Structures are given as C-alpha cells and as structure tokens.
C-alpha cells in the first residue's frame, strides 16, 4: 500500500488525509498538539460563500468532505460603521457559521472523525522534520503575518445574529464582528495595522456590542491568532505545501478555511493522479493565483476608499442586484482588478514590507 506523511492536522491537512485514505493510501499525520483545533480553540468562524462558483457546502461534498460538524447557514448579515447600517438579506447563504476547536461539533473535530473513520493515523503530540514528510500543512507563518485577531467566545441565550463592525475607532483598517449561532457566541476584532493596539480596539469593540445587544455571556473564554499570506505561492522541491503555510489566505478579510480545504483536495488529487510536486504547484498556481492577486487589489481598494468609514464601498455592494455575485466578481481577478493590480502591488509591497508579494 502506498503511504503519505502529512505535517499538521488543520483543515488543509485533514482534507488531504481524508481524500488520500479514501483512495487506499496509508496516511500518517503528525500533529504537535494533543488534539485538533487546540491552537484556535472555541471561536466561531465564517465559511464564506462568495469566492467560488458554487455553494461552498456543495463544493465540500464534491471534495468528499461531509458536514458532520455544526454548520449554520446565514443569509442575513448587518454591517455597521456605528453611524449607518447595511442590512444584507441574501437569497442564498452569505456564509456558514462553524465552530473551531475541540468541542464535539467543531469543524476540526468533524474532519478528525472523518479522517479516523477512514483509517488515518493521527500522531498527536508529535512532529517531524519537513524533509521527512510529503505534505506540509502547518498553518500560518509568523514571518508573513498580515493581520492579528483577538476575541472572546461564550454561551448565550441570544438569538442568532451576525454583525460586522467597520470603522477606524473599533478596528483601525480592520473589522470587528459579533456572531451568535445556536446558543454559542463570539466577539472579535481583526487588525491589519498597529497590532500593538489590539487590546485597545478589542475593548472598544466589546463595549460597543455589549451595550447594543443583550448577550448575557456565560463561560467566556479568550482566543487570539494571526493570518499569514503570500501570493508568491510557497514551494519546496520535494514537499507539497498546502493551506496557510503555502500563502493561501485572503488578504482582504482573512477568510482562509475554504482555500485550506481546497488546497488539501488539490494536493490529494495530484498525488492520486501520480503527479510530481512541481505539477501540483502548477495546478495550485492556476487555481489560487487569481484569487490571491484579487485579494491584494481588494485590500488596496478597501484601504484607499475607506472614507466615511467604508460607506462608499458598502453602498456599492449593497446597491448591487446580487451582493454575493458582486463580491464573487472581485475574487476572481476581473478586468478592473487586472488594471489596478500593478498600482495595488506597488502600494502593498510598501505597506506590508514583510510579505512576499
């Protein structure tokens, strides 16, 4: 039997493992923590449903990923800058709310179960030298950090709600959000600059949401983390890099789960098809490069047209016939983005000197 070794049991590594093991491969995953989801424990995350051509859950099914985890569709979302509100009500889910971490119904635990059911051997509390594995799926690289986030998650009796808060008082150049799904809530702030002030912005965010929503948070606990990005896809000659360690992230808002799972699937398929590492990188480049380049342009636009607390951009999205379709066109390197790209790249290289762009 052919065997594959994977480093890291996040969504990317587990998606690759599930597909390889289903097709007769003997898969070992080295996970340095004692369980999956330990490093991102207990927060709610959004699985965005606008960057691809089909519903993300349908896409997961086609990639042999079952939804055996909490996955609540949200068609409605309020974006506010504290002065104006934009109430989006979409015909199809704008995103699905997932739990991350070690709770039974989290994405991480669901993927772990699917992998274990297929016979994957997850070696918890172990690591391995990169040169000894076939696939590297170790998540963000601090050298290429572009955003930091901090939040609390809690239990609540408040009804389901999703609110994005965008203004420079609550999250300079970033955003904050409140999500409540099925009795579980989370409030977080994400910053793209001035990381040292994260506590200050998070405190303001917390005050804002607590004074506007009767959340009565029970069992609150803190989480934090960072996102890393590169549009020069990270490569090694003899190893396949997938997920965030390869640079597959979204520089605009930091939605990385969809890319992580997709890259795990592409990696498994190229191994199953008997392709070499360099062929995987070609396929990955064709798929991801337009999305990564788009997100450089999107962040440039977001920061440059931030006047009136993003109301120009938000009005544009809100007044489009179909906001999800409109957003989709900005995630696939459209004609306008290609024109703006050289200026955006020039600006972003100066703005984020640590990133490999």
Ligand X SMILES: Cc1cc2nc3c(=O)[nH]c(=O)nc-3n(C[C@H](O)[C@H](O)[C@H](O)COP(=O)(O)OP(=O)(O)OC[C@H]3O[C@@H](n4cnc5c(N)ncnc54)[C@H](O)[C@@H]3O)c2cc1C
Residues that bind ligand X (CB under 6 A): 7-13, 30-33, 36, 39-40, 45-47, 127, 137-140, 149, 225-227, 243-244, 249, 254-258, 260
3-class SS of residue 179: strand
Minimum CB separation of residue 128 from ligand X in Å reads 7
Q: What are phi and psi of 153, to 5 degrees?
A: -120, 155
Q: Which residue has the tokens 């049991």?
A: 9
Tokens of 306: 């931030």
Return contacts of 109-113, CB within 8 angstroms, 24+ apart.
Answer: 109/36, 109/37, 109/69, 110/66, 110/67, 110/68, 110/69, 111/11, 111/14, 111/15, 111/18, 111/36, 111/65, 111/69, 112/9, 112/14, 112/35, 112/36, 113/68
CB-nearer residue toward ligand X: 8 or 323: 8
**Segment (H or E) for 17:** helix 11-22
Minimum CB separation of residue 11 from ligand X in Å reads 4
CB-nearer residue toward ligand X: 36 or 301: 36
CB-nearer residue toward ligand X: 227 or 323: 227
CB-nearer residue toward ligand X: 49 or 337: 49
Minimum CB separation of residue 101 from ligand X in Å reads 11
Minimum CB separation of residue 102 from ligand X in Å reads 11
Minimum CB separation of residue 10 from ligand X in Å reads 2
Pairing of strands 76-80, 161-165: parallel
CB-nearer residue toward ligand X: 185 or 227: 227
């Amino acid at each position: 039997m052919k065997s594959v070794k994977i480093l890291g049991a996040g969504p990317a590594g587990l998606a690759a493992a599930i597909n390889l093991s289903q097709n007769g491969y003997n898969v070992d995953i080295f996970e340095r923590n004692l369980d999956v989801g330990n490093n991102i424990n207990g927060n709610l995350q959004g699985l965005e449903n606008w960057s691809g051509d089909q519903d993300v859950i349908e896409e997961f099914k086609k990639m042999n990923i079952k939804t055996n985890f909490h996955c609540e569709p949200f068609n409605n979302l309020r974006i506010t800058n504290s002065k104006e509100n934009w109430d989006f009500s979409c015909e199809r889910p704008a995103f699905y709310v997932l739990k991350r971490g070690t709770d039974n119904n989290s994405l991480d635990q669901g993927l772990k179960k699917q992998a274990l059911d297929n016979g994957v051997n997850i070696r918890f509390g172990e690591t391995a030298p990169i040169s000894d594995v076939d696939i590297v799926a170790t998540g963000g690289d601090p050298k290429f950090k572009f955003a930091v986030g901090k939040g609390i998650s809690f239990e609540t009796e408040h009804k389901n709600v999703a609110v994005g808060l965008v203004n420079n008082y609550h999250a300079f150049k970033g955003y904050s959000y409140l999500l409540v799904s099925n009795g579980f809530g989370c409030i977080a702030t994400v910053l793209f600059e001035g990381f040292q002030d994260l506590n200050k912005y998070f405190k303001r965010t917390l005050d804002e949401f607590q004074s506007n929503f009767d959340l009565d948070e029970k069992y609150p606990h803190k989480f934090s983390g960072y996102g890393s990005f590169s549009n020069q896809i990270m490569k090694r000659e003899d190893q396949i890099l997938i997920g965030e360690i390869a640079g597959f992230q979204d520089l605009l808002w930091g939605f990385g789960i969809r890319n992580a799972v997709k890259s795990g699937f592409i990696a498994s398929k190229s191994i199953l098809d008997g392709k070499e590492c360099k062929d995987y990188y070609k396929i990955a480049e064709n798929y991801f490069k337009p999305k990564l380049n788009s997100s450089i342009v999107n962040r440039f636009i977001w920061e440059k047209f931030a006047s009136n607390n993003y109301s120009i951009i938000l009005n544009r999205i809100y007044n489009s016939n179909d906001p999800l379709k409109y957003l989709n066109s900005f995630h696939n390197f459209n004609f306008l983005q290609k024109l703006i790209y050289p200026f955006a790249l020039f600006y972003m290289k100066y703005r984020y000197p640590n990133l490999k762009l």
